[in-house]
Structure 1
């Protein structure tokens, strides 16, 4: 080791990890941090940050920045990229060098440097690299993969996570996020290629002197917005509307791209939120830069909108792949739409625009998708209108790849969404895209306004026609993975009285799930973690098994659905619930809301037991 100290941890594995870090890490700050911990004999902390390595999954990496293998830093970025290169070379061979990869980055601390270090790794291997010269929205990477026909894409971003985090998001050659088995294959290659190749890889200016490097920014800016015109159907209405909008990028990358998006649709330029309009990696005006949190993040937007006479607020998250929408009501208060409600409006709009232009289309060949934890409103619309609907596992990696499959089969995919304010309008980008979605929903609002209708009123019109759908979604924060695992273990062995009549039995694995939740009868169980689904005779789930995370869905006799799952990118246990009515005869919406609230309250009391398990509510 580089220190003169002769002390050891007493753990040979940790000693080797310390030695390797101090030999390999050339970043002065992180190197000195590990050196200081070693000299101080702080082996517990060294154990935590060196022996607990970040797990590379389908979402890539996302973690706090800092020194050590458990955090995002120069060394872990280089190691990850070396492993990614080796995996890509195994799959594509020398085509990798010719087709290359595309790399983008957001405005967070270290994002630009991390992107350059990743580019260095590929350039040193003789691979062509399209490296954006400026900050870009995440959708520009999957779009660029398809445009330039690269073998892969990398986006350095932590999306809407807190300021101390960063991430490394990976796309395959079809422009969709990776799915298994790519994640485990890449993870293994990372472990096999931990030692940095040479000193040049640490110089973030190195790649910029290489003939293998190309800046795709101008080309993508031109073609992305040209393709975006495919979704503009009412330019004359947009030009004449009196409706006004306020927009915030929540301190992220979105402003310039949002302005270009509105210009593409000939929409009246939105009002900026001065305090949030420019990139700020400190996210100085919000606790969490996630517009999904609602009014807490949109407070300044509402103040701007009130002052400037705007009725609709649009907000992107910091990497501009998500979209939040709020609308001022006639009584003066602001309604913040949920992701499910925005998905309902955009799904209807996509169908309305398509069928108006293609009245004789084979409706069964037209598809919409949503994740299985999102509202099933599109399924209800499909059952009336005759198009096809599918749900997928959680995340756009599944919807993007399924869209790719359907398009290659000659199908038309109009729209996909997830309840976490993620929307894929069309398939120019096989991922959620807040830049395109904002102009589409703005045009929808303008057309409705021209007919004397608001977004809120149209939403109710859709529920009146296709059936009421009410949701109750939230989360608990859990920093203790063992307690989280124990909670799910309890759900899989819920009945401890050995009375099988009180349990839904997975005969193959011996798991026993609750048959009742408070006064609510459970009619079916789906456990994606194990592959069990009691609704089918063979007990096998249709959706792919996902053993790396917990996800259990409860189906109730009153036709409500409740899903509990762990997050892949944050220390959260999330729950999603929905109750569906039947068209105009569904009864009062307030009754459905009350019934669902009671079900969720029973779930919180019985399943989570926050006081015993130490979980923190979302308001904490």
Structure 2
């Protein structure tokens, strides 16, 4: 199948050049190992060879996915799939998100399967929305989100509208290996030019999405009158038109848009005297927010802080519309294990349910779908990596809906003469301060990483987990690599476990919680620490000091950077 690389003159030229130069090292990098297909789909640099994203590897991946769908979903030839893409392009290899989307569409159409291919760039959340809205069998989004510009990715959604989880990833991976030889018409993108199987869902999905979004507009009269000014930056991405449309759907004056890049958003905000900056990542599934403080400084909210604000807002707005307290027992919020537990504190006080899932929206999206199918009401889900699901008609993080809902929140607070920062403080004073700190160490040797985690399971050679970390006593352990959880009666973890990744959560006697985990995509060991105070116990500075001490102890005693030769995060 690798002979098919010659179909693309740019990648074939690269390979011929490497062969002529006898550059074995570079050839090994290109052809030594195939990209691994996992629950996040594919993500790699664009370029020649089976280790990179190019015409051939897109065709092979789609052929495998197509065969897997034929075996596992009903009525594929009647229902079809949706495909979209972001604005990425890589001229040296001829690769672009649009080209890859067209090749994927050609692969399905060649098998008689209908394809809903967006005619222009869209935010990632529009793909899961289209899967649910049109009752399709699957969705593919060609994007590498916020990764470097030479990268691309192939993100896959199942028929339930959520990202795939195991065992689908393994099944698709195996099907790719079994379908490497390009099918006869795979390269012929002209096949989709006039095919009756090709549909453009852009108009229908835009209409449906913004109609559904309006159901989450709670204060239209406030929006029409608001004096709050917003600046929006899409960071060279796809978000601009869609955020403008979202503001119109909420009767908000559209935000000033940054025509250049993110760093200039502060300059534009100062120039236009805007109070709030909204920033999407390149595929518009994440949102960051900054607010001008009375001091003239800008405060950039962390993912956990914005999660606290949006969680509080969505609950408050929902409760105003639903006075029946019995509805609380069927109401849920979700966040990932490494995110702040502020939603748990709000849920405990207000009487609704909170659940945590494994890291990543694939878990929250699938769990949300299960709950919705049981007749439950999922209000909100978030992860600390600035991902928010404010409207469960998209079972994934969505930076478009999060942007406009944040704008309505800021507009509403302004009528009470409150800023976002002041409201965040009020949330923490009512439900307890939640201080978080996250960072990582770099380690390129998988063997060293394994040793570090095995040492925690056999601390100081005592065949047990540590009882203390410096002066901080350890009161609980959950190890999602081995499936151990000492808080459960049978010592077995409730959340799914994975032997292929390392993840241990320590609970400390002072109420602190810290999770250490390996990254699935980078040579990093990440940690996330949080210290929570009880409501009314409002000395944030003391809490911050204690959290810093706890983190220093974790770094010194659990990571032992000198012993394992770990590089700290570059500041």
TM-score, normalization by structure 2: 0.96
For 2:112, what is the secondary structure of its paired residue? Answer: coil
Structure-2 residue corresponding to 1:355: 319
- RMSD over aligned Cα, in angstroms? 1.6
- Counterpart CA distance in 2 for 1:534 and 1:37 is 55
User: 1:336-387 CA deviation, whole Å, 9 max, x = no partner?
Assistant: 1011111111111111111111111421111111111111111100111001
Structure-2 residue corresponding to 1:142: 128
Structure-1 residue corresponding to 2:171: 185
Structure-1 residue corresponding to 2:81: 101
Equivalent position to 1:463, from 428, 445, 449: 428
Q: Is the 8 A contact 1:474 1:574 kept in 2?
A: yes
- Counterpart CA distance in 1 for 2:200 and 2:5 is 30
1:513 is the counterpart of 2:465 = yes
Equivalent position to 1:226, from 211, 219, 238: 211
Q: Is the 8 A contact 1:254 1:318 kept in 2?
A: yes
User: 1:302-327 CA deviation, whole Å, 9 max, x = no partner?
Assistant: 11111110111100000000000111
**Which has the larger displacement, 98-107 or 558-567?**
558-567
5+ residue gaps in structure 2? Answer: 90-95
1:79 is the counterpart of 2:60 = yes
1:203 is the counterpart of 2:188 = yes
Equivalent position to 1:557, from 504, 509, 524: 509
The within-5 A match list for 1:427-506 is: 427-496=392-461, 498=462
Structure-2 residue corresponding to 1:501: none
Number of aligned positions between the proteins: 564
Structure-2 residue corresponding to 1:596: 547
Q: 1:65 to 1:615 in 2, by over 3 A?
A: farther
Shift in Å at residue 475 of structure 1? Answer: 2.5
Structure-1 residue corresponding to 2:93: none
- Counterpart CA distance in 1 for 2:566 and 2:53 is 26
**Which has the larger displacement, 528-537 or 357-366?**
528-537
Q: Is the 8 A contact 1:549 1:568 kept in 2?
A: yes
For 2:236, what is the secondary structure of its paired residue? Answer: coil
The within-5 A match list for 1:195-344 is: 195-198=181-184, 200-276=185-261, 298-344=262-308
Shift in Å at residue 23 of structure 1? Answer: 4.8
**Which has the larger displacement, 603-612 or 521-530?**
603-612
- Counterpart CA distance in 2 for 1:57 and 1:150 is 21
Q: Is the 8 A contact 2:4 2:56 kept in 1?
A: no
Shift in Å at residue 614 of structure 1? Answer: 4.9
Shift in Å at residue 587 of structure 1? Answer: 4.3
The ranges of structure 1 where at least 4 consecutive aligned residues each deviate by more than 6 angstroms after the TM superposition are: none
Structure-2 residue corresponding to 1:377: 342
For 1:539, what is the secondary structure of its paired residue? Answer: coil
Equivalent position to 1:530, from 482, 485, 492: 482
Shift in Å at residue 75 of structure 1? Answer: 1.1
Q: Is the 8 A contact 2:47 2:54 kept in 1?
A: yes
5+ residue gaps in structure 1? Answer: 1-19, 277-297, 499-504, 506-511
TM-score, normalization by structure 1: 0.88
- Counterpart CA distance in 2 for 1:49 and 1:489 is 33
1:49 is the counterpart of 2:30 = yes
User: 1:384-408 CA deviation, whole Å, 9 max, x = no partner?
Assistant: 1001111111111111111111111
- Counterpart CA distance in 1 for 2:233 and 2:499 is 38
Q: Is the 8 A contact 2:391 2:401 kept in 1?
A: no
- Counterpart CA distance in 1 for 2:563 and 2:101 is 43
User: 1:477-509 CA deviation, whole Å, 9 max, x = no partner?
Assistant: 44443433333233333322x3xxxxxx6xxxx
Structure-2 residue corresponding to 1:579: 531
- Counterpart CA distance in 2 for 1:307 and 1:124 is 53
Q: Is the 8 A contact 2:141 2:156 kept in 1?
A: yes
Q: Is the 8 A contact 1:495 1:513 kept in 2?
A: no
1:159 is the counterpart of 2:145 = yes
- Counterpart CA distance in 2 for 1:453 and 1:360 is 28
